[in-house]
């Protein structure tokens, strides 16, 4: 798992701006969603073109977060990346970033009936959870998915982003969520990518400008405390 500590000068910059290190100190738990991004075989298993194998190590934390969010009254959303629209030409700017053989492999792997498209088998996916298919790096960009309908139907305000890759689909989704007025968080030990350097740069940049970054343990403790307060107030 990536080792990560937010640079102290970044923390101080955030404190100077907003008066505290963390934007999200408590939750309206029933308006909270865990958004698990692209934890599919294609992005996790060593033999796959898009693999970030270190993502296998975050599975226990993702499952713990899913359990905590469900217990506190929130929802869990599992996102899967699908091949873009009807043809490779529909996203030709992505196509030109791959050799012909590699884009063909990616296209084949990202079909609904392909094994690499499936969620990683160690994930604790429950019947009551939501499933969203997206066709771009960000789940929120126009035409990518119906995640906004899912969130609006559940009256969600805060999203907790986990998954793979930290600096690609996770960051793209988390940043766009903030632009659309969701309280957006990324989980430092619940996301993974190819290298420590990419992981660190992504989380640090997100924290400075877009949303909060916390560990799995910090988020679960805040969820549990918020759930107790909410129950006491009812």
* Eight-state DSSP code of residue 120: P
Residue among 202, 179, 187, 194 at smallest CA distance from 24 = 187
**In this predicted structure, what is the pLDDT of residue 88?**
63
**Alpha helices, H only, the chain:** 8-18, 41-44, 59-71, 92-95, 100-109, 147-153, 171-179, 196-209, 216-233
Domain span at residue 26? 11-233
Q: Per-residue confidence of the chain (234 residues) as pLDDT tens digits?
A: 999 999 999 999 999 999 999 999 999 999 999 999 999 999 999 999 999 999 999 999 999 999 999 999 999 999 999 986 566 667 677 777 888 888 888 888 889 999 999 999 999 999 999 999 999 999 999 989 999 999 999 999 999 999 999 999 999 999 999 999 999 999 999 999 999 999 999 999 999 999 999 999 999 999 999 998 877 776
Give the position of tokens 């940043």.
175
CA–CA distances in Å: residue 25 to residues 76, 129, 186: 20, 25, 14
> In this structure, what CATH number is given to the domain that contains residue 26?
3.40.50.850
Is residue 3 a part of any domain in this protein? Answer: no
Q: pTM here? A: 0.94
Is residue 123 a part of any domain in this protein? Answer: yes
Give the position of tokens 């924290």.
207
What is the dihedral sign for C-alpha 82, 55, 73, 223? Answer: negative
Q: How far apart are CA 228 and CA 24, in angstroms?
A: 17
Is residue 4 a part of any domain in this protein? Answer: no
Give the position of tokens 């910090």.
218
* Other C-beta atoms lying within 10 Å of the C-beta of residue 135: 17
Give the position of tokens 């693999």.
51
Taking only the tens place, the pLDDT of each residue in 186-225 is 999 999 999 999 999 999 999 999 999 999 999 999 999 9
- Whether the Cβ atoms of residue 144 and residue 176 lie closer than 8 Å to each other: no
Is residue 229 a part of any domain in this protein? Answer: yes
What angle in degrees, to the nearest 10, is found between the helix axes of 216-233 and 59-71?
Answer: 10
Is residue 132 a part of any domain in this protein? Answer: yes
**In this predicted structure, what is the pLDDT of residue 229?**
86
Query: Residue 16 burial by CB count (10 A; 0-12/13-18/19+): exposed, middle or buried?
Result: exposed
The arrangement of strands across the sheet holding 130-134 comes to: 130-134, 75-81, 32-37, 158-164, 183-192, 212-214
Taking only the tens place, the pLDDT of each residue in 110-132 is 899 999 999 999 999 999 999 99
Is residue 1 a part of any domain in this protein? Answer: no
Is residue 183 a part of any domain in this protein? Answer: yes
**In this predicted structure, what is the pLDDT of residue 43?**
97
**In this predicted structure, what is the pLDDT of residue 120?**
98
Give the chain's domain count. 1
């Amino acid at each position: 798992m990536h080792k990560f500590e937010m640079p102290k000068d970044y923390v101080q910059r955030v404190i100077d701006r907003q008066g505290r290190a963390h934007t999200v100190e408590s939750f309206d738990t029933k308006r909270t969603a865990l958004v698990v991004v692209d934890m599919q075989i294609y992005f996790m298993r060593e033999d796959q073109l898009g693999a970030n194998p270190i993502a296998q190590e975050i599975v226990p934390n993702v499952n713990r977060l899913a359990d905590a969010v469900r217990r506190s009254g929130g929802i869990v959303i599992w996102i899967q990346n699908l091949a873009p629209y009807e043809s490779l030409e529909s996203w030709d700017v992505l196509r030109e970033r791959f050799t012909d053989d590699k884009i063909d492999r990616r296209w084949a792997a990202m079909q609904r009936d392909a094994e690499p498209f499936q969620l990683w088998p160690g994930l604790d996916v429950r019947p009551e959870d939501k499933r969203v298919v997206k066709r771009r790096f960000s789940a929120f960009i126009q035409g990518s998915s119906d995640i906004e309908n899912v969130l609006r139907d559940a009256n969600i305000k805060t999203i907790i982003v986990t998954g793979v890759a930290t600096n690609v689909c996770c960051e793209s989704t988390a940043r766009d969520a903030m632009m659309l007025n969701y309280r957006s968080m990324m989980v430092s030990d619940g996301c993974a990518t190819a290298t420590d350097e990419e992981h660190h740069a992504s989380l640090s940049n997100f924290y400075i400008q877009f949303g909060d970054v916390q560990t799995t343990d910090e988020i679960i403790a805040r969820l549990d405390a918020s759930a107790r307060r909410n129950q006491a107030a009812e």
